[in-house]
Amino acid sequence: MQSYGTEISSLKLEIKVLVEKLETANAKVQSYDKEARILEQEKIHLEQRYQSEFERFAEVQERCNRSEKECKRATELADRTRADAAISGTPKTFQNLSVSSPAAVAIFTIDGYFLSYSNVATIRTLWDNGMKLIN
């Protein structure tokens, strides 16, 4: 009977140690769950806070892409114009062509005359319609 009591005593002690470990593990789990909830709330708060910045960045990126395309078109137009002017052999050839900004502001120098166009579409329209820039 005495060995039975000793065995029960050692099992009770083992159960007590295991219960303490379980309580410690449960406390850690609760702590991690609380931290995860706090981090999730912080993530949601930051997403809401910077949503307008994300949208603004997307808008700026789209504007940049459009500007790059417009600059490319302006450069192609200038190249075609130079080629046409060189082929025609007229004295009114381009001496200088500059696309100075993403907004595609073009400044032309033709035989010492300065023409400035803030809208490349205007230049393209004039060129496509066969109109001369300078009489």
Q: What is the pLDDT of residues 25-59, one digit of tens each?
A: 999 999 999 999 999 999 999 999 999 898 999 99
Burial 99-108 (b: 16+ CB within 10 A, else e): beeeebebeb
Determine the structural domain holding residue 114 and report its residue range: 2-128
Q: Is residue 135 part of a domain?
A: no
Please give the Cα distance from 129 to 135 (Å, whole number). 15
**Residue 9: pLDDT above 70?**
yes
Please give the Cα distance from 62 to 47 (Å, whole number). 21
Q: For residue 80, what pLDDT is reported?
A: 86
Q: Is residue 134 part of a domain?
A: no
Q: Is residue 40 part of a domain?
A: yes
CB atoms within 10 A of CB 120: 20
Mean pLDDT over 104-112 rounds to 43
CA angle 12, 17, 23 (to 5 degrees): 120
